[in-house]
A and B are shown apart, each in its own frame.
Chain A
Amino acid sequence: MAEKSKEIDKSSIIKRPPMDLKHPQETLLRKKAIPTIYCPGCGIGTTIHAFLEALTKYSKIPQDQIFVVSGIGCTGRASGYINLDGFHAIHGRAIPFASGVDIAKPSLKPIVISGDGDLFSIGLGHLAHAARRNTDMTVICINNAIYGLTGGQDAPTTPVGAKTRSTPYGKISFPFNLSHITIANGATFCARYTVYEFVQLSKAIGRAINHQGFSFIEVISNCHVNFGRRNDLGDSIAMRQMFKKARVRMKEEDIGFDLHKTDIEYEIGKGFTKIPTGVFLNEKDEPEEFSERITHAYEFKK
């Protein structure tokens, strides 16, 4: 880069802007709670941002019909930063709470934002059954391959060989492929993106919200503080550059019935080497969602 361009130009600063300037998502943020407790550069903030942009730009559902539920973890705090109706549920129980919301008031659209540990270790049973019933909800799972909040213990998503607080010599058991599990259990919409692919992620979240039935979004995010640091993956910038290199776009047709094609690859010392991303499933002839089936069964009985 030429040295001249490195000069700091302050001539464009204006003291009194002619209009009220605010962040495009400002009205959807709980201003008292901001700045967030997240570490600088954490991907959870970027994902919340993508979700809010999906609400304002791509979703067809009015904002007063959205209900945000989250579980426990760094990700679990998301519902507290979003200025919409919501609930911060107990560990692993965000999905049962969201199912209750959908069944009691089908006009509401529950959105679950939670971590890989919350949804796929303690909460795995609930997730499988909500997917099987095709309950009308959108689940946004932030997969940072670690238990972030509690100090970096291994999660069911931690890759083989990765060092964590509870696997100091490298993890020996195999990780879950979250998208694979969710599709296998009956979800009718599934997509995966990294936090680097903001626009695609935001559009996919919009599609998932508009989808009737169980929709799942897996977000590959950076926990550089508890995962990156122990595995020499650098800071948030280095981890996002790694996502940029490792992502491989995949379409529904490329995958077919072999969901192992969506497996994430990891190498010790190098980090993630392959992250298939894209919309993996979008069932058009979707089965009826659960609350509608309840209504039909009830009318039939009358």
Chain B
Amino acid sequence: METHQHPEDKYYFITDEERCKGCGLCIEFCPKDCLGFSDEINEKGWRVAKMHRMKDCIKCYMCERMCPDFAIFVNEDESAEKAET
């Protein structure tokens, strides 16, 4: 699992290499072109998708929803939001 943190907004972006099948749907449908294939090949032999430009991400959840394999997702830090308000 690779975790990215957005530089300004406090939320996290996770890709799970063990689950990814390299279909590329998340990469194709990301409106901000944040994602790309990595050089890494996982245990099952698929080339996995990775976050390449986290600062462009707008937290639209398109990648999470397009993924058929639950391998890519966004997590919000609810405690951080509570602390701010």
The count of residues in chain B whose C-beta lies closer than 8 Å to any C-beta of chain A is 40
Q: Report the minimal beta-carbon distance from A40 to chain B, rounded to whole angstroms.
A: 4
A35 contacts across to B, CB distance below 8 A:
18-19, 21, 44, 69
What separation, in Å, do the CA atoms of A121 and B51 have in the docked complex? 43
What separation, in Å, do the CA atoms of A124 and B22 have in the docked complex? 36
**Cβ-defined contact, A14 with B3, below 8 A:** yes
**Cβ-defined contact, B3 with A21, below 8 A:** yes
Residue of A nearest to B6 (CB): A12
B30 contacts across to A, CB distance below 8 A:
none
Q: Report the minimal beta-carbon distance from A199 to chain B, rounded to whole angstroms.
A: 7
**Cβ-defined contact, A14 with B33, below 8 A:** no
Interfacial residues of chain A within 35-93, with CB under 8 A of chain B in the complex? 35-36, 38, 40-46, 49-50, 53
Q: Report the minimal beta-carbon distance from A285 to chain B, rounded to whole angstroms.
A: 34
**A5-B33, A9-B54 known; A17+B12 contact, CB < 8 A:** yes
**A9-B52, A21-B3, A237-B24 known; A36+B69 contact, CB < 8 A:** yes
**Cβ-defined contact, B73 with A45, below 8 A:** no
What separation, in Å, do the CA atoms of A15 and B52 have in the docked complex? 16
Interfacial residues of chain A within 194-217, with CB under 8 A of chain B in the complex? 198-199
**A25-B70, A40-B22, A237-B24 known; A9+B75 contact, CB < 8 A:** no
**Cβ-defined contact, B70 with A14, below 8 A:** no
Residue from the list A7, A8, A14, A44 in contact with B5, Cβ < 8 A = A14
Interfacial residues of chain B within 37-59, with CB under 8 A of chain A in the complex? 44, 46, 51-56
Q: Is A23 an interface residue (CB 8 A)?
A: yes
4 residue pairs, one from A and one from B, having the closest CB atoms: A45-B68, A41-B23, A40-B21, A12-B54
Which B residues contact A (CB, under 8 angstroms)? 1-7, 12, 14, 16, 18-19, 21-25, 28-29, 33, 36, 44, 46, 51-56, 64-70, 73, 75, 77, 79
